[in-house]
Copies of this chain bind each other. A is one copy, B any other.
């Protein structure tokens, strides 16, 4: 039954599936103390470190909420804060050692799930999907 599901929901379903998988397998690998909200924020941290307000803006939450989540990630050893050499007010949130290991574990799960999708869709259509989504990003991603 190929009914008329709205495109938003159609996008949401695989997104949720991916998130759930990464989550479950990360938990099984010992990263079982991180919550979905923390993870959604954590994944936005750039390799050089990110400012709290940038993270908040990208994730679409307030800086207070972001601060709350980063506090916890810091306590759990996933990130640490360093002064920003370029701006005395700011502090850079950087990925700590444990965070780095979790990033690698997550990347492996993502690769595995993407491989499953590719084997269901075929190489060609998987590549098409990524191209189209990347293109769509131009009008749907307010931050870059």
Identical chains in the assembly: 2
Q: Complex Cα distance A8/B130, Å?
A: 10
- A5 and B132: CB pair below 8 A? no
Main SS of the interface on chain A? helix
Set B5, B16, B117, B136: member contacting A7, Cβ < 8 A: B117
A85 to chain B, nearest CB (A): 24
CB closest chain-B residue, reference A14? B140
Contact A133/B8 with A128-B128, A138-B120, A139-B117 known, Cβ cut-off 8 Å? no
Ranked nearest first, the 3 interchain pairs of A and B with the lowest CB-CB distance are A17-B140, A8-B18, A11-B15
Question: Can you name 17 A-B residue pairings with CB atoms under 8 Å?
Answer: A5-B134, A7-B18, A7-B110, A8-B19, A8-B113, A10-B134, A10-B137, A11-B14, A11-B15, A11-B18, A16-B140, A17-B140, A17-B142, A20-B60, A120-B136, A125-B132, A125-B135
